[in-house]
């Protein structure tokens, strides 16, 4: 799900069955048309009804996304090659030069980030070039020293520098050498045989022989007896002393604590804000398992990264997934009123006055001459049944009936038996919390300076209606307050009676509903709306008209 060319198709937050099934079906249609890789997502938890539909047809739940805002996974990272902790400072300098970078990642064998090393750290190494204890402080392997001096490790001795060893140059007579050289020292010598023996006798841990001098057999045997490593290099003693500290492992100078790093799942806006808090220019990026993926720099235009997005079953800002304004909206396929979304460029917008978005998508399958498979047909059929309340809703059109019938045949399902099982699954409230029930199919609307929310549940039994009221009554007002809404309405729609019960919160909410539907003042609590089953076509228009009248003082 990290390709920059992927297109994400998603319904509204707190999705109903149509929002989920329409996203899955439209992704399938576009994939069959060869329009890139299309991925259905969901912007909220699934209802029990939707879970039943997906399970019935053996379809996996779409991946949940809290926000569609661009993440670092949408950004082209700088693929800077790293090196292991045991690599030398010389290796680091050469790799920086080869890649024309100033910072390198230090990586474990399984590509996990161990630390980072930059030019500043290499500069510290240069300052330390006069530190005679630099190699011992880092326990530098003698093999590293041979590598840094472009030499050959003839005998490895103890293998690495011990604590307390110094870098010395063996010059002068033998007595002077024995007086100066101490046990464990690393000594640079020229081509004099007697000097080599004196250095070994003094207890040196490592002897570096310059100018490609042949090591006499007796000297080599003596070195082995004293466990003194022997390195041969073509460098002279000056160059050897100058370059030897490049043998220090990068682990000695790298930064490994309090690293400024990011993860592929971080949102780019958050990354930019964090980068602005520091003077660092380059930052390593890891995946969720801690594996190194690359670097980003403060000079990259992270704000230009946008995800490709198609909206189905909604077109209002309040119902969109978080971060939608930072996405590139390609299309909208919907059957609701036109809301307030604005786009930077013209887009494909298909909006039809039918009962379900899945009806529109089923029509698009026919227009393209593509027959949906059994699963996709079944999903679209269930979505139409759900949104039209099995054709009882006033939003239902003849086109909805036609497509539902055709899709049921393709899915090899008895439409009415499937509807009964689906509605029964959806009305199960056992174990649910009131907050969850209100948020299951919940939408926010804005008009005349007022924000209000409308939740809806469908049921086929009086027991479920009573259970829904009992669960939501204690929390409906706090639900409203927590979302900063003027009014909150909860419709419990009885499919068999083709009517709805409305429960309200917010000062004047009940009066607004009674005014909208011409009811008397006698029912302050439960409000029964006979013949009202559609939130979109019946309830919302009536409430909006009442709000308009209220705002104009009529």
> What SS3 state is found at 394?
coil
Give the pLDDT score at 441.
Answer: 87
Interatomic CA distance for residues 444 and 489, integer angstroms:
10
CATH of domain 74-125+252-302: 3.10.580.10
Residue 247: closest CA among 191, 171, 188, 196: 188
DSSP 150-203: T-EEEE-TTSBPPTT--EEE--S-HHHHHHH--TT-EEEE-S-HHHHHHHHHTT
pLDDT tens, residue by residue, 465-517: 889 999 999 999 999 999 999 999 999 998 888 899 999 999 999 999 999 99
Does the pLDDT of residue 545 top 60, yes or no?
yes
Pinpoint the residues of the chain covered by CATH 3.10.310.20: 434-552
pLDDT tens, residue by residue, 115-170: 999 887 777 666 655 566 678 778 889 999 999 999 999 999 999 888 878 888 88
Query: What are the phi and psi torsion angles at 548 (to 5°)?
Result: -65, -45
- 434-552: which CATH topology? Diaminopimelate Epimerase; Chain A, domain 1 (3.10.310)
Give the pLDDT score at 519.
Answer: 87
Interatomic CA distance for residues 283 and 275, integer angstroms:
9
Q: Which two tokens stand for residue 348?
A: 């494909």
* Segment 32-52 mean pLDDT: 95
Residues 6+ away with beta carbon under 8 Å from 218:
none
Give the pLDDT score at 35.
Answer: 95
Query: What are the phi and psi torsion angles at 82 (to 5°)?
Result: -105, -175
* Segment 47-75 mean pLDDT: 92
* Segment 412-432 mean pLDDT: 88
* Segment 509-537 mean pLDDT: 84
The reported pTM is 0.65
Residue 356: closest CA among 532, 531, 501, 537: 537
Q: Which two tokens stand for residue 177?
A: 């050498």
Does the pLDDT of residue 201 top 80, yes or no?
yes
Pinpoint the residues of the chain covered by CATH 3.10.580.10: 74-125+252-302
Give the pLDDT score at 131.
Answer: 60
* Segment 48-75 mean pLDDT: 93
Give the pLDDT score at 1.
Answer: 47
Q: Which two tokens stand for residue 99?
A: 């890649």
Name the percent of the chain lying above pLDDT 90.
60
Does the pLDDT of residue 184 top 70, yes or no?
yes
Query: What are the phi and psi torsion angles at 291 (to 5°)?
Result: -80, 135
Does the pLDDT of residue 521 top 70, yes or no?
no
Which stretch of 35-49, 280-294, 488-502, 516-530 has the lowest confidence by average pLDDT? 516-530
Which stretch of 126-140, 207-221, 237-251, 451-465 has the lowest confidence by average pLDDT? 126-140
Interatomic CA distance for residues 532 and 514, integer angstroms:
13
User: By the 8 A CB rule, do 264 and 75 touch?
Assistant: no
Give the pLDDT score at 123.
Answer: 74
Whose tokens are 């020229």? That residue is 190
* Segment 371-375 mean pLDDT: 97
| Per-residue pLDDT band at 190 (split at 50, 70, 90) | confident
Which stretch of 76-85, 112-121, 126-135, 183-192 has the lowest confidence by average pLDDT? 126-135
Q: Which two tokens stand for residue 376?
A: 């996709």
* Segment 67-81 mean pLDDT: 88
Give the pLDDT score at 255.
Answer: 84
* Segment 192-204 mean pLDDT: 91
Q: Domain 139-247: give its CATH superfamily.
A: HprK N-terminal domain-like (3.40.1390.20)
Pinpoint the residues of the chain covered by CATH 3.40.1390.20: 139-247
Interatomic CA distance for residues 188 and 174, integer angstroms:
14
Give the pLDDT score at 463.
Answer: 83
User: By the 8 A CB rule, do 550 and 542 touch?
Assistant: no
User: By the 8 A CB rule, do 479 and 504 touch?
Assistant: no
**CATH 3.90.1640.10 assigned to 7-70+306-426:** yes
| 3-state helix, strand and coil shares in percent for the chain, rounded to the nearest 5 | 40, 20, 40
User: By the 8 A CB rule, do 66 and 267 touch?
Assistant: no
Name the percent of the chain lying above pLDDT 70.
95
Question: pLDDT averaged over the chain?
Answer: 89
Instruction: Measure CA of the first residue to CA of the last residue in the chain; give whole Å.
Output: 53
């Amino acid at each position: 799900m990290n390709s920059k060319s992927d297109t994400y198709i998603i319904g509204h937050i707190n999705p109903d069955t149509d929002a989920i099934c329409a996203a899955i079906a439209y992704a399938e249609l576009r994939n069959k048309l060869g329009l890139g890789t299309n991925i259905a997502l969901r912007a909220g938890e699934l209802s029990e009804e939707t879970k039943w539909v997906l399970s019935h047809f053996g379809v996996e739940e779409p991946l949940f996304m809290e926000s569609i805002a661009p993440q670092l996974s949408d950004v082209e990272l700088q693929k800077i090659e790293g090196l292991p902790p045991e690599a030398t400072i010389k290796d680091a300098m050469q790799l920086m030069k080869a890649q024309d970078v100033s910072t390198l990642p230090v990586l474990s064998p399984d590509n996990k980030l161990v630390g980072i090393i930059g030019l500043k750290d290499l500069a510290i190494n240069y300052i330390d070039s006069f530190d005679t204890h630099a190699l011992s402080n880092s326990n530098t392997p003698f093999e590293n020293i041979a590598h840094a001096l472009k030499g050959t490790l003839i005998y490895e001795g103890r293998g690495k520098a011990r604590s307390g060893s110094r870098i010395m140059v063996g010059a002068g007579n033998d007595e002077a050498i024995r007086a100066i050289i101490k046990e464990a020292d690393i000594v640079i010598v020229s081509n004099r045989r007697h000097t080599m023996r004196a250095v070994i006798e003094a207890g040196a841990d490592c002897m570096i022989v310059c100018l490609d001098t042949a090591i006499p057999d007796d000297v080599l045997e003596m070195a082995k007896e004293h466990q003194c490593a022997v390195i041969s290099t073509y460098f002279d003693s000056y160059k050897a002393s100058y370059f030897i500290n490049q043998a220090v492992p990068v682990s000695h100078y790298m930064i490994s604590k309090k690293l400024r790093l990011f993860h592929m799942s971080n949102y780019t806006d958050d990354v930019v804000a964090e980068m602005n808090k520091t003077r660092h220019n380059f930052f390593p990026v890891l995946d969720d398992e801690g594996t190194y993926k690359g670097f980003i720099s403060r000079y990259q235009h992270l704000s230009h990264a946008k995800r490709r997005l198609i909206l189905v079953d909604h077109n209002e800002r309040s119902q969109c997934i978080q971060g939608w304004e930072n996405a590139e909206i390609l299309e909208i396929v919907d059957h609701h009123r036109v809301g307030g979304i604005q786009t930077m460029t013209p887009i494909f917008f298909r909006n039809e006055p039918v009962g379900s978005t899945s009806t529109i998508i089923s029509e698009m399958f026919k227009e393209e001459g593509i027959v949906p498979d059994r699963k996709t047909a079944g999903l679209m059929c269930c979505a139409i049944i759900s949104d039209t309340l099995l054709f009882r809703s006033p939003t239902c059109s003849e086109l909805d009936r036609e497509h539902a019938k055709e899709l049921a045949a393709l899915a090899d399902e008895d439409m009415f038996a499937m509807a009964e099982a689906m509605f029964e699954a959806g009305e199960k409230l056992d174990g649910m919390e009131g907050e969850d029930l209100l948020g299951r199919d919940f939408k926010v609307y804005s008009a005349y300076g007022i924000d209000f929310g409308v939740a809806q549940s469908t049921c086929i039994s009086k027991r479920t209606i009573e259970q829904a009221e009992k669960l939501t009554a204690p929390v409906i007002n706090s639900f409203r307050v927590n979302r900063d809404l003027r009014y909150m309405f909860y419709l419990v729609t009885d499919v068999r009676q083709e009517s709805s019960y409305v429960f309200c919160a917010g000062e004047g909410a009940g009066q607004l509903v009674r005014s909208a539907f011409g009811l008397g003042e006698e029912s302050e609590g439960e409000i029964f709306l006979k013949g009202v089953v559609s939130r979109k076509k019946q309830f919302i228009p009536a409430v909006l008209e009442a709000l308009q009248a209220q705002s104009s003082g009529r």
